[in-house]
């Protein structure tokens, strides 16, 4: 986006209004159509939508490379935004459906590769942009062209969920919009996306002022990317061993908020008078950046893991799409607030104001998620372990010792329905690939289902039925 803005203004001589129009068309087509991409993933299968998103981006970047008229550039901008609206929900849907009980770990791994890719793209784009923006656009089109072919050749096919979406798309959207728990969670996590976006707004500006060096922003991203590569999976697995990530999301948001405190030591100070002073100030800024990445590593994978648990498995894409609509609105509004505080701080000398604003975003978001957790309004996701696991606050009374589950069983909670404890002695028997096993019929409306512990795999939240097929390791 920065490369494109500079190209339109300097390379093509467009006015600021036209530059804003082209960039705005891209953002509008992306943020506004995320839910459409999610619905398409539910109805057509995420694989098809992923491939379509890659192909559309190839075309869009090709138009940026060879088009110089306003209409061609607007078309390219809309296509690249639409491609993102298709690609992102579909990828998250595919990961959520394929990862089984290892969703948090899968999203953590996805986060690692996304961070590496962002850093590589920034460095490669900076080099290509020094030559010509068209070369940068051709490089991007080539990358997405290769990805389109690769996804079509090697991405395994996955069918649509057994309990398919309703006949009307609007009915699916209404179901998601009317899910009060999901809406409250989406609103509560708006601070996470606002703080995440400061990696591209407030932190680079602060680093530039502190060190007086234009490459300071790249150092912050590089340090965060290295920390992400080294610690993301370790953190996610450690949280799983300590009660699951659900209870730690609010603490991750607290860490994200606290990451804006170290820059207070150097904000508003005069330019450095030597290399030593510049390095010392950069260490302070890097500390804040790495703390922000650590907070993201704690909160983000589990937040992604919880989203499918708010509704039916067949609407996983719809919920991801709607969540990204909320996150896009939050990022835009949050950036506007932070940008305004930056202006006020510059005008009044209150350079600490935007940093304290971001701290307030983090603490408020952490408090909101913590309240939802304590109220039992967050999905309780299963932890991939061979031992029975109890996670989250108690929202119902479990039967006593005489009627409780036998040793070696696990309680799988489906938070979308009222809590109805059930005894394990159901009379019916169902066949499985390994023989017969006691099972419960008429359990579709139950909140807690007692079944024999399967150390290999626990059913995911809000599943319409048991998953009998073994999932390949991640």
Q: What is the pLDDT of residue 160?
A: 59
Q: What is the mean pLDDT of the chain?
A: 79
Measured in whole angstroms, how far is the alpha carbon of residue 57 from the centre of its chain?
A: 20
Q: Is 435 left (phi over 0), alpha (psi -120 to 50) or beta?
A: left
Q: What is the pLDDT of residue 166?
A: 65
Q: What is the pLDDT of residue 145?
A: 96
Q: What is the pLDDT of residue 233?
A: 93
How does DSSP classify residue 401?
T
Q: What is the pLDDT of residue 280?
A: 92
Measured in whole angstroms, how far is the alpha carbon of residue 72 from the centre of its chain?
A: 31
> Which position has the token pair 């060096």?
213
Tell me how far apart the alpha carbons of residues 90 and 113 are, in angstroms, rounded to a whole number: 17
- Strand 435-438 relative to strand 448-452, pairing: unpaired
Q: What is the pLDDT of residue 161?
A: 58
Tell me how far apart the alpha carbons of residues 273 and 153 are, in angstroms, rounded to a whole number: 56
Q: Which two tokens stand for residue 274?
A: 């030597």
What are the residue ranges in the chain where pLDDT is below 70?
A: 158-167, 381-474
Q: What is the pLDDT of residue 247?
A: 86
Alpha helix positions (H), 164-264: 169-177, 180-188, 190-196, 202-211, 216-241, 249-258
Q: What is the pLDDT of residue 119?
A: 81
Q: What is the pLDDT of residue 332?
A: 81
Q: Under a CB-based contact definition with an 8 Å cutoff, are residues 271 and 73 in contact?
A: no
Tell me how far apart the alpha carbons of residues 138 and 7 are, in angstroms, rounded to a whole number: 14
pLDDT (tens digit, 9 = 90+) per residue, 72-95? Answer: 999 999 999 999 999 999 999 999
Tell me how far apart the alpha carbons of residues 152 and 66 are, in angstroms, rounded to a whole number: 26
Q: What is the pLDDT of residue 450?
A: 38
Q: What is the pLDDT of residue 159?
A: 59
Q: What is the pLDDT of residue 373?
A: 93
């Amino acid at each position: 986006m920065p490369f494109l803005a500079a190209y339109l203004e300097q390379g093509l001589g467009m006015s600021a209004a036209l530059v804003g129009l082209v960039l705005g068309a891209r953002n509008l087509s992306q943020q506004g159509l995320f839910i459409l991409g999610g619905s398409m993933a539910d109805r057509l299968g995420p694989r098809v939508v992923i491939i379509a998103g890659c192909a559309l981006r190839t075309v869009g970047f090709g138009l940026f490379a060879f088009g110089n008229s306003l209409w061609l550039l607007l078309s390219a901008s809309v296509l690249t935004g639409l491609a993102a609206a298709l690609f992102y929900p579909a990828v998250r849907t595919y990961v959520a459906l394929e990862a089984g009980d290892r969703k948090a770990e899968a999203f953590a791994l996805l986060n690692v590769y996304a961070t590496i890719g962002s850093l590589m793209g920034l460095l490669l784009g900076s080099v290509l942009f020094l030559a010509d923006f068209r070369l940068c656009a051709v490089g991007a089109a080539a990358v997405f062209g290769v990805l389109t072919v690769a996804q079509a050749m090697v991405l395994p096919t996955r069918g649509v969920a057994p309990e398919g979406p309703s006949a009307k798309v609007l009915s699916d959207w209404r179901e998601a919009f009317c899910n009060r728990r999901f809406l409250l969670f989406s609103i509560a996590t708006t601070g996470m996306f606002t703080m995440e976006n400061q990696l591209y707004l407030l932190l680079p500006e602060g680093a530039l002022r502190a060190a007086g060096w234009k490459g300071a922003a790249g150092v912050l991203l590089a340090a965060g990317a290295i920390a992400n590569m080294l610690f993301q999976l370790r953190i996610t697995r450690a949280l799983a061993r300590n009660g699951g990530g659900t209870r730690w999301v609010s603490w991750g948001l607290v860490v994200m908020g606290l990451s804006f405190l170290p820059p207070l030591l150097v904000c508003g100070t005069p330019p450095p008078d030597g290399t030593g002073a510049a390095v010392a100030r950069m260490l302070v800024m890097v500390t804040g950046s790495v703390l922000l990445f650590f907070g993201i590593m704690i909160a983000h994978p589990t937040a992604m893991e919880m989203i499918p648990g708010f509704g039916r498995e067949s609407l996983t894409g719809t919920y991801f799409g709607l969540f990204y609509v909320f996150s896009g609105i939050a990022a835009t509004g949050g950036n506007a607030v932070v940008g305004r505080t930056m202006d006020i701080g510059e005008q009044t000398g209150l350079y600490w104001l935007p940093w304290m604003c971001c701290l307030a975003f983090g603490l408020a978001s952490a408090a909101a998620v913590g309240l939802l957790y304590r109220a039992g309004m967050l999905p309780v996701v299963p932890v991939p372990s061979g031992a029975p696991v109890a996670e989250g606050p108690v929202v119902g009374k479990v039967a006593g010792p005489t009627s409780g589950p036998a040793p070696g069983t696990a309680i799988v909670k489906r938070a979308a329905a009222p809590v109805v404890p059930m005894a394990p002695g159901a009379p019916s028997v169902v066949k499985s690939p390994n023989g017969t096993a006691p099972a419960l019929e008429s359990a579709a409306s139950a909140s807690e289902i007692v079944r024999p512990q399967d150390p290999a795999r626990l059913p995911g939240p809000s599943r319409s039925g048991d998953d009998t097929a073994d999932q390949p390791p991640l």
